[in-house]
Amino acid sequence: MSVRGAALFGGDSTALIPTVTFDAPIAKNTNVYVGGGYAFQTNEGYASQLGNKNAPVVTLGAESLAKNVVVYSDAKWGIDAYKNSSADAVSLQTGVGYSF
């Protein structure tokens, strides 16, 4: 199990997303993960990379670790993530991080 965080910049708001994930190894130093969290909008009502209101989030991704450097790719699904709509939001990202 892991605790993760993401900040999705872009648009007129930033989505701050803490999540808890369950990790499953698929190869040496490589995991897939699935989990859930919540997206907090810094400027609710304005567009971000994951909707325009605070919403629950489901995430699915993969990561590989080499010498404390993590390369990852994942998808985040914001459930009912738009004001005045029942629409969901999806965001795909890749990145590099540091594991400590």
pLDDT tens, position by position, 23-55: 999 999 999 999 999 999 999 999 999 999 999
**What is residue 98's predicted lDDT score, i.e. its pLDDT?**
86
Parent domain of 80: 2-98
Mean per-residue pLDDT, 12-20: 96
* pLDDT score, position 81: 95
Q: How many domains, the chain?
A: 1
- C-alpha span between 18 and 23 (Å, rounded): 16
| pLDDT number for residue 16 | 97
Q: Which has more pLDDT, 10 or 16?
A: 16
User: In the structure, what pLDDT confidence band is assigned to residue 100 with cuts at 50, 70 and 90?
Assistant: confident
Q: DSSP assignment of 14-78, as one string?
A: -EEEEEEEEEEEEETTEEEEEEEEEEEETTTTS-BTTBSS-EEEEEEEEEEEETTEEEEEEEEEE
The whole model's pTM is what?
0.88
